[in-house]
Structure 1
Amino acid sequence: MKRGFIGHGQWVPGNQVVLLENGEEFYPRLYECIEKAQREVVIETFILFEDEVGKELHKVLMAAAKRGVRVDVLLDGFGSPDLSVDFLRSLMDAGVKLRVFDPGKRLLGQRLNMIRRMHRKIVVIDGERAFVGGINFSHDHLRSFGPMAKQDYTVELTGPIVSQIHRFVIHAIALGAKGPSWFRRRLRATEPADIQEAGSAEVMFVTRDNRRHTDDIERHYRAAIRSARKRIVIANAYFFPGYRLIKELRRAARRGVDVRLILQGEPDMPIVKTAASLLYHHLLHAGVKIYEYCERPLHGKVALVDDVWSTVGSSNLDPLSLSLNLEANVIVRDREFNEVLWNNLSGLMDDKCQVIEAEQLSTEWSGWRLVRSFFVFHFLRYYPRWAGWLPRHAPRLQPPEAQWPQLTRTDAQSQPTITEHA
């Protein structure tokens, strides 16, 4: 069954969705697929480090490019600032097309381009297979990194939804490059002739940007929470959502839904736990159950509602992801996938989490902290508004020389400057 472009935020039937947990499952599977690529590999990532994971990706991408596969890599200028000239030059010499989202220069050693980041983590191979999730290309997504290795998830997708994801990433790197005709030629040249149904899952690809889709991911979360009748489980690394989402969680718990949050107990940044804990009083006293994941830092951005609805992606539930960054999630309607995710999260809650009790807060929280929590909670009503006051420059995709001037040379391949498409 051949499909053309399907509009943003529409359910697409006939897909297979496979959950990949942590780098141990994601990286080997991705490298295997890249090694089998015949036409094209497109990667968008927030972080690419020049460590053992980055070097392995470097090797498989160079091999693919040298055998004639078109390889496009989009990096975020803030998330991937410290790659060496040799690392980048060897990719470019092999034929890999590199672009940087909003490159920024340092001032006194500090990076200033901190807001409105390209936070998506997407890979599309031959227009037939896609990976979407929260895992970056860095050693800290492997257990061998040590106690601070991150717990995270990605999904592998096959089926008609890949056509939509494919066109999205091509649009991200191509819009404005050589005009609409070039864009259409690129799509015709890279889109597979036929995308067959691969499974029974209905999938929606949802993105967040600073123009047309400013709150799409949050709206889908809220709609799913409102529809819940049995259970809600949200595992999210950076939890400080808007007032409306918190209100929906409290309402769901009060009408008898089993609402569970899995949050960081051993955070990679202490402020993450401090911020989330300011909301505990309001959530617990409405009946929401809170689990702090204590084995290592939680980096996942996943959720499930009842027995069918699930989501996996790059979007945290905090002001950066919900109001500033470019994000991408997939939402899945499929009982089998929901059960797989439920079993995984149940294992975390049963074996690796500490349950936070309301009685605990009553004895530990001072009167001042309760007052502070009250004001923080109501402050959340307004953060989408004040987030709009922050600088609204239009981030640009630029060639790697804009981030690493040392790459400039007279025979360097010219790559176009592209304005943010989303």
Structure 2
Amino acid sequence: MLHQPHGSWRRAQGLTAGLLLVFGLVGCKSLPRVVPDLDRRPPPVRLEGSQGPLSAERSRAILERLRAGGQGSDVLSRHLALEEAIVGSPLTAGNKVDLLEDGPATYKAMLAAIDTAKDHIHLETYILDDDEVGQKFADALIAKQQQGVQVHLIHDSVGTIGTPDEFFKRLTDAGIKVIEFNPINPALARKEWELNERDHRKLLIVDGRIAFLGGINISGVYSSGSLSMGSGSSGKTDGKKSDIDGIPWRDTHVQLQGPVVAEFQKLFLETWAAQKGEAMAARNYYPTPVRAGSDVVRAIGSSPKDSYSLIYATLLSAIASAESTVYLTNAYFAPDPQLLTALEDAARRGVDVKLILPGKTDSWLIFHAGRNYYTQLLKAGVKIYERQGVILHTKTGSVDGVWSTIGSTNLDWRSFLHNYELNAVVLGAEFNAQLQKLFDADLAASKQVTLAEWQRRGLNLRFKEFFARMWEYWL
């Protein structure tokens, strides 16, 4: 069974039997074995800036500044060397990264950026609901299209299964170019039918100069944020009453400016081409990069077409090379054996490993599949906390106070094997300190799970864990 954020899979319950048959026919992929060479001397790391590759001297100066605020002189070099070898995308300097907490702040910043657009807007999203928030974005995009700004939209077919065709027809009638990613209906497929491959990315690019990404979809469930229980928080996931009505959603996004935006633009254009979208009009998709700040960022995109998930391999390497801390906040936790081993090994060698996971969720299957691993993680010394009072949808991580990641990737098989995902890795202690503040705030609102308490849980919970684990590959 497919697990999809904020209950969208419940919109497709009538398709469940057919989907399971399809899944049985397509076979299973497997995750690669990633073994970082931690003993190898790190090669020199070269950065790119607004004018292209930086000199070795300039690269060293920037890295030394980053190291000065970190945990040690060698930690950052090791992370960078491993990441460089795995991912291959450039590490870019001269960026500005703004952390955005929850829906209201994110939507305000996104709509403000859309309002400034002069050339083009690219939006790629898993969920785009036909509600107050979705209509607000639709109005903003149509207004810009009518002003001569070309808008391209990619929306996932499963994620928008509850969004009526009329919503998208209004966009296309206005001149917006729209692609339905891997349509559920095989008759609408523009290429080979690949139902199980979903576009889980959340990406907005304005004029090739500003990018937004993270975990936030375009939906009214984010209207109130996690800091209040205001009347704007319906919590509705499918247009009907649900058991999570009234509970705010907790999520994280980032706004980026600078040379790294071009890397996210490449990923959008690659997806558009792979989905056989119509030829794009001539626009300034790659404006001359301009230095916007001092943040060092790498763009990482993963897809099922890759030989392995670049985000998965990067995360494993960061955890394997961690020397002091590994702090992960994630909405959907169903780890594969290698990720489990990496977390357990880090804790056993004295690294402070903390996981903030949901205390309440919109998908009980993924919730209990992840809880099935609590015992072995707790025995290894991993500290587990369950966030209270919200629906946790965040996907962030930090290692050793110098390596941070924010994106759409969950810690589950679906994200690592079946989804198109997108993350940003931000290097340096300054941004990490901002992310740490959010982590600390979530930690203060969480309940720690202790081994003694967990071992006393009832048989009903144990049965749910056993049942859910059988489905974890597809969740």
TM-score between both structures, scaled by the size of structure 1 = 0.81
SS state at 1:115 partner: coil
1:81 alignment partner, one of 161, 169, 176: 161
Q: 1:19-44, CA deviations, whole angstroms, 9 ceiling, x for partnerless residues?
A: 11111110011001101100000000
Contact kept? 2:202, 2:215, Cα under 8 Å: yes
1:301 alignment partner, one of 395, 400, 416: 395
**Aligned residue in 1 for 2:36:** none
Contact kept? 2:208, 2:285, Cα under 8 Å: yes
**CA shift in 2, pair 1:18/1:195, >3 Å:** same
**Aligned residue in 1 for 2:322:** 228
**Aligned residue in 2 for 1:204:** 298
Matches within 5 A, 1:21-100: 21-100=101-180
Residue 258 (structure 1) aligned with residue 338 (structure 2): no
Q: 1:226-268, CA deviations, whole angstroms, 9 ceiling, x for partnerless residues?
A: 1211111100100011111110111111111111000010111
Residue 131 (structure 1) aligned with residue 230 (structure 2): no
The 2-side partners of 1:195 and 1:10 are apart by 14
Compute the displacement of 1:355 (Å): 0.5
| Cα RMSD (Å) | 2.9
SS state at 2:424 partner: strand
Q: What letter corresponds to residue 128 of structure 1 in structure 2?
A: R
Q: What letter corresponds to residue 154 of structure 1 in structure 2?
A: H
**Aligned residue in 2 for 1:102:** 182
Q: What letter corresponds to residue 160 of structure 1 in structure 2?
A: P
**CA shift in 2, pair 1:368/1:301, >3 Å:** closer
The 2-side partners of 1:24 and 1:327 are apart by 23
The 1-side partners of 2:412 and 2:170 are apart by 37
Q: 1:358-409, CA deviations, whole angstroms, 9 ceiling, x for partnerless residues?
A: 1112333669949x87x969x99xx6xxx7xx9xxxxxxxxxxxxxxxxxxx
Residue 355 (structure 1) aligned with residue 436 (structure 2): no
Residue 168 (structure 1) aligned with residue 168 (structure 2): no
2:201 alignment partner, one of 106, 120, 125: 120
Contact kept? 2:184, 2:195, Cα under 8 Å: no
Compute the displacement of 1:193 (Å): 3.7
Q: What letter corresponds to residue 80 of structure 1 in structure 2?
A: T
Contact kept? 2:335, 2:370, Cα under 8 Å: no
**Aligned residue in 2 for 1:145:** 233
Q: How many residues align?
A: 368
Compute the displacement of 1:208 (Å): 1.5
TM-score between both structures, scaled by the size of structure 2 = 0.72
Q: What letter corresponds to residue 261 of structure 2 in structure 1?
A: V
1:341 alignment partner, one of 435, 439, 445: 435
Stretch deviating more after TM superposition (61-70 or 265-274): 265-274
Contact kept? 2:333, 2:370, Cα under 8 Å: yes
**Aligned residue in 2 for 1:320:** 414
SS state at 2:148 partner: coil
Q: What letter corresponds to residue 145 of structure 1 in structure 2?
A: S
Compute the displacement of 1:198 (Å): 1.5
Q: 1:65-118, CA deviations, whole angstroms, 9 ceiling, x for partnerless residues?
A: 000000000010111123334422221122111110111239xxxxx9862111
SS state at 1:312 partner: strand
Unpaired stretches in structure 2, ≥5 consecutive residues: 1-49, 54-83, 187-192, 225-231, 235-245
Stretch deviating more after TM superposition (303-312 or 164-173): 164-173
The 1-side partners of 2:271 and 2:441 are apart by 37
Compute the displacement of 1:142 (Å): 2.1
Contact kept? 1:3, 1:163, Cα under 8 Å: no
SS state at 2:296 partner: strand
**CA shift in 2, pair 1:362/1:34, >3 Å:** same
Q: What letter corresponds to residue 125 of structure 1 in structure 2?
A: V
**Aligned residue in 2 for 1:245:** 339
SS state at 1:197 partner: coil
Compute the displacement of 1:342 (Å): 0.5
Q: What letter corresponds to residue 245 of structure 1 in structure 2?
A: L
The 1-side partners of 2:304 and 2:365 are apart by 25
Contact kept? 2:94, 2:291, Cα under 8 Å: yes
Q: Could you tell me the percent identity over the aligned residues?
A: 32
**Aligned residue in 1 for 2:32:** none
Matches within 5 A, 1:358-369: 358-364=451-457, 369=462
Compute the displacement of 1:178 (Å): 8.8
Contact kept? 2:120, 2:285, Cα under 8 Å: no
The 1-side partners of 2:308 and 2:140 are apart by 35
Compute the displacement of 1:15 (Å): 1.1
**CA shift in 2, pair 1:366/1:81, >3 Å:** closer
Residue 216 (structure 1) aligned with residue 310 (structure 2): yes
Q: 1:121-149, CA deviations, whole angstroms, 9 ceiling, x for partnerless residues?
A: 11111001111111000011122224333
**CA shift in 2, pair 1:113/1:354, >3 Å:** farther
